[in-house]
């Protein structure tokens, strides 16, 4: 049977019944919607139908071949260089976020974190939001920069256990890492000179660094967003701080595992100002300091993603100790300031223009269809 012959009469019949101008107008509208869908990545048709689009399978749906996230030092040199090249690629691609100051795709993620910080820290969705944030970043590395691997993580507790200075960690290698410390600034106390406010929580000045990173693949790495809420063109800074090592020991990571509720776990992992002293989350940021020590613009240092990937792994390790109950265990306030409610599995995680919103439910099980990764 000739398919073209069957189609011809139908087309002919339609052309007699429908005015040509209406066919043209319909085609133009559909073409425009398809273009918007392709360029913006948004579910245009679903929104027009006023239906909530489904962006991922349910939490129980596992992906078939999850990517395996590995600790940085277990990667071979070729894998390390591939990841570094992908990050540098993201830094060359123009921004799409429409967020103030962002010039590159790398800036997009810094800018999103800046405008989201007050809404996603010291709240119940702190860990789920950052899990989704890492997922969107990892997806950008793959889809826009051809990265074939998985987002690595940095287990700083291994460096602390080694008894050596943090600056000797493989992540700070000048060839197969992210470069070392920043140039020395006398009396450095953070980008705004106010880190002494954390002294009661255990912060001690690093004693060196604070300026632009001077070696490695991210030497003189220019950013357009930060520090803090500022919109400035500036180089990425670091002030590696060994005084943070006591807060990053293997014993403190292990101490998180016996905690029985998500509420206890998330508070003890995240740290100040809810806790009196630093915990692994904020201590990890302050151990690198400079850009990483900034509450708002910390994703300006590529090590942000390795640090938070390890925090995410710690959460996943904790879940697996009692999987059936903990994979659905979520709690905590929805906002820092009242009025607030407790978050639930249906609470939405907003990624602005960078990705569609998803619910906490969709990111609770790591190797699911949305996230599709696991940890080594």
Domains and CATH numbers, the chain: 19-53 (no CATH), 67-375 (1.10.1280.10)
Backbone angles phi, psi at 180, to 5 degrees: -100, -140
Q: Tell me what pLDDT residue 151 has.
A: 98
Vertex 88: Cα angle to 296 and 182 (nearest 5): 55
Tell me how far apart the alpha carbons of residues 256 and 282 are, in angstroms, rounded to a whole number. 15
Vertex 36: Cα angle to 31 and 40 (nearest 5): 160
The larger pLDDT score, comparing residue 268 to residue 25, is at: 268
Q: Tell me what pLDDT residue 356 has.
A: 96
> Closest Cα to residue 181, out of 307, 301, 305?
301
215 with 176: CB under 8 angstroms?
no
Tell me how far apart the alpha carbons of residues 265 and 255 are, in angstroms, rounded to a whole number. 10
Q: What is the tens place of the pLDDT at every residue in 219-252?
A: 999 999 999 999 999 999 999 999 999 999 999 9
Q: What is the mean pLDDT of residues 111-121?
A: 97
Q: Where are the beta strands (DSSP E) in 308-372?
A: 348-349, 358-359
Q: What is the tens place of the pLDDT at every residue in 154-213?
A: 999 999 999 999 999 999 999 999 999 999 999 999 888 888 889 999 999 998 999 999
Q: Tell me what pLDDT residue 61 has.
A: 56
- What residues contact residue 364 under an 8 Å CB cut-off, 6+ apart? 59, 128, 319, 327, 328, 330, 345
Strand pairing category for 210-213 and 222-223: unpaired
Q: Which band of pLDDT confidence, cut at 50, 70 and 90, is reported for residue 340?
A: confident
Cis upstream peptide for 18 (omega within 30°): no
Q: What is the mean pLDDT of residues 140-162?
A: 98
Q: What is the mean pLDDT of the chain?
A: 87
Name the pTM for this structure.
0.84
Q: Tell me what pLDDT residue 162 has.
A: 97
Q: Which band of pLDDT confidence, cut at 50, 70 and 90, is reported for residue 44?
A: very low
* 3-class DSSP string for 18-63: CCHHHHHHHHHHHHHHHHHHHHHCCCHHHHHCCCCCCCCCCCCCEC
Q: Tell me what pLDDT residue 191 has.
A: 84
């Amino acid at each position: 049977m000739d398919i073209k012959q069957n189609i011809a009469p139908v087309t002919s019949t339609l052309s007699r019944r429908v005015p040509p101008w209406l066919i043209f107008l319909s085609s133009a509208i559909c073409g425009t919607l398809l273009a918007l869908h392709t360029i913006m990545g948004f579910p245009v048709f679903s929104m027009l139908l006023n239906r909530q689009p489904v962006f991922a399978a349910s939490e129980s749906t596992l992906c078939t071949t999850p990517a395996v996230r590995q600790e940085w030092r277990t990667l071979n040199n070729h894998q390390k260089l591939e990841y570094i090249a992908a990050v540098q690629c993201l830094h060359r691609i123009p921004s799409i976020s429409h967020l103030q100051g962002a010039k590159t795709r790398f800036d997009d993620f810094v800018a999103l974190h800046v405008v989201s910080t007050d809404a996603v820290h010291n709240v119940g969705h702190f860990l789920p939001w950052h899990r989704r944030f890492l997922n969107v970043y990892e997806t950008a590395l793959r889809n826009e920069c051809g990265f074939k691997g998985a987002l690595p993580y940095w287990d700083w507790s291994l460096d602390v256990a080694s008894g050596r200075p943090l600056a000797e960690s493989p992540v700070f290698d000048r060839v197969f890492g992210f470069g070392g410390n920043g140039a020395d600034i006398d009396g450095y106390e953070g980008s705004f000179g106010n880190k002494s406010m954390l002294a009661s929580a255990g912060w001690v000045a690093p004693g060196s660094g604070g300026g632009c990173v001077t070696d490695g693949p991210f030497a003189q790495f220019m950013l357009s967003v930060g520090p803090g809420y500022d919109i400035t063109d500036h180089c990425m800074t670091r002030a590696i701080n060994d005084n943070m090592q006591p807060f990053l020991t293997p014993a403190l990571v292990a101490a998180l595992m016996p905690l029985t509720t998500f509420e206890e776990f998330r508070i003890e992992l995240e740290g100040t100002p809810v806790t009196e002293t630093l915990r692994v989350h904020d201590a990890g940021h302050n151990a690198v300091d400079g850009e990483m020590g900034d509450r708002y613009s910390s994703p300006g240092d590529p090590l942000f993603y390795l640090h938070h990937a390890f925090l995410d792994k710690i959460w996943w390790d904790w879940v697996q100790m009692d999987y059936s109950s903990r994979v659905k265990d979520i709690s905590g306030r929805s906002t820092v300031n009242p009025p607030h409610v407790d978050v639930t599995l249906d609470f939405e995680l907003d990624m602005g223009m960078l990705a569609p919103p998803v619910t906490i439910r969709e990111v609770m099980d790591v190797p699911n269809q949305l996230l599709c990764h696991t940890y080594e």
